[in-house]
Amino acid sequence: MNTSIEKFAYKVFNLLDKNYPKEISFLHFENNFQLLISVILSAQTTDRQVMEVVPVLFKKYPDPLSLSKGALDDIMNIIKPVGFYRVKAANIKKTAAKLIKDFNGIVPDTIEELLTLSGVGRKSANVVVGSLFGKPAIIVDTHFGRVVGRIGLTQSNVPEKIEKDIALLIPKEKQYRFSMTANLHGRKICHSRKPSCASCFLKSICKSVIS
């Protein structure tokens, strides 16, 4: 560690790592294809809503080939409880078709390739490479952005800039773990409207509490 901000980031990582389970997963899946589709569906909606619809979806369309051939109206009907279901139905059908056409039905393991799939942005791509392939991944969603911003690791509200800022502070081998623990911290303690600062184990170093 060469700078004070890097040392600070290391301290934050260690506290998060110490206080949360070693295994953290917000989406339940049985294979790579299921995670990819679930991540696409999770955009701008809750994980709970996604978990309500995917059992039915994957029972009827268990693999890329079957989903690529599924009727769009049927797919929309299955995932209707999820926000933006029309767009998402089209996206997962297109993604399934592209997996067959360009990737032999296999979920790719690079950010660049994942970004060619319909409905997959940087956040989703990072979830996939981090969770499935153990690669460096900084997953910037609303929870993560809120936590790293409040604690003082970034001053940006732009996801791409937040990702770059954190990448400079957290070693690659720790980035996915940091993403998951910071995300969980945002869900459990550092809430959007009313953070539980009194019970937060980061309160002694958090910039939002100190300042």
Which residues participate in catalysis according to the annotation? 123, 141
* 115 three-state secondary structure: coil
**Helix/strand/coil percentages in the chain, nearest 5:** 60, 0, 40
> What dihedral angle (degrees, nearest 10) is formed by the CA atoms of 42, 48, 53, 57?
60
Amino acid identity of residue 170, one-letter, is I
Angle at 14 between CA 12 and CA 18, to 5 degrees: 120
Matching residue, tokens 């399934």: 96
* CA 33 to chain CA mean position, Å: 15
Question: Quick one: how many helices (H) and strands (E) in the chain?
Answer: 12, 0
CA dist 81 and 59 (Å) reads 17
